[in-house]
Amino acid sequence: MNTSFTPPESFHYMDTMRKTDATPSSAQEKRRQMATAMQKLINKVARMQASEAEMARYVEAIEDLSECIADHDKFDSVEVFKQLYQGKASVDEFYLDIDSGVLFGKASPVGFPMELNVINDKVVGTATIPVAFQGPPQRVHGGIVAAVFDILLSRTQGLCDFLGFTADLQVSYKSAVPLDTPLQLEAWVEYVDERKLRNAGHILVDGKIVATAQGLWVKPKQGFI
């Protein structure tokens, strides 16, 4: 069963660990569209082979685009987190937080397609990692694989109402993680002991495990804020 919840009037940080039917605002949809456009641009530029004249035109066009976008203020991520931690966040603050997540956020200009959901006692999902994140030829950079595990395993906190920070992450690379290929993601809780959460997960390609991870998440002694 896919675990979701009816949108509340206000959101807690734990709600970011679960699927919701809450509708993002039209402004948030525009943030997502801008991020998607930037992701496409980054992946076109990455490892590009073009003539010097073509690249000169691209440089000019990109610089013109950068100049036409004003230096707008950034939203206060600390304040948004405070509202989430206290269970007082609005739907807009909820989406500002989850959509801004590095690599996986739908409003992150340096992200890629990643979907995560809670099904029964596991976090499961998919990801497709493009050429901008290449390490060895045709392979995803190992640091990106580790970052995917950090994101994936962190979601297991939603399985047991735990809220902490990454304390340790051990990654084992079994074989190449290919670029531009659908990856299957799975993670689960191994055990919870007061302030400590042990979890694990793996990445699969066509049913074959290509990487595994063991993690430790710890609740801070003094709280988050």
Residue type, 99: D
Contact by Cβ (8 Å): 75, 86 = no
pLDDT of 172 reads 98
pLDDT of 8 reads 62
Residue 41 and residue 35: Cα distance in Å, rounded?
10
Superfamily holding 112-225: Hotdog Thioesterase (3.10.129.10)
User: What three-state secondary structure class fits 203?
Assistant: strand
Over residues 56-97, the pLDDT tens digits come to 999 999 999 999 988 888 999 999 989 998 899 999 999 999
Q: Residue 89's CB: how many other CB atoms inside 10 A? A: 25
Q: Which two tokens stand for residue 83?
A: 């509202």
By CB atoms closer than 10 A (0-12, 13-18, 19+), residue 41 is middle
Over residues 137-172, the pLDDT tens digits come to 999 999 999 999 999 999 999 999 899 999 999 999
Q: Which residues contact 39 (CB under 8 A, 6 or more apart)?
A: 109, 110, 111, 112, 130
Confidence grade of residue 225 (pLDDT, cut at 50, 70, 90) = low
3-state helix, strand, coil in the chain (%, to 5): 35, 30, 35
Mean pLDDT of the 17-30 span: 85
Beta-bridge partner residues of 196: 193, 218
* Ranges of CATH 3.10.129.10 domains, the chain: 112-225
pLDDT of 15 reads 84
Mean pLDDT of the 39-54 span: 95
The model's pTM is 0.90
Over residues 167-219, the pLDDT tens digits come to 999 999 999 999 999 999 999 999 999 999 999 999 999 999 999 999 999 99
Residue 193 and residue 52: Cα distance in Å, rounded?
59
Match 């002991």 to its residue by tokens: 193
Helix axes 91-99, 77-85, angle to 10 degrees: 120
Mean pLDDT of the 26-33 span: 95
Mean pLDDT of the 95-123 span: 91
Mean pLDDT in the chain?
91
Q: Which two tokens stand for residue 44?
A: 């076109």
pLDDT of 165 reads 94
By CB atoms closer than 10 A (0-12, 13-18, 19+), residue 155 is buried
Q: Which residues contact 163 (CB under 8 A, 6 or more apart)?
A: 13, 14, 157, 219, 224
pLDDT of 1 reads 45
pLDDT beyond 70 at 7: no
pLDDT of 19 reads 67
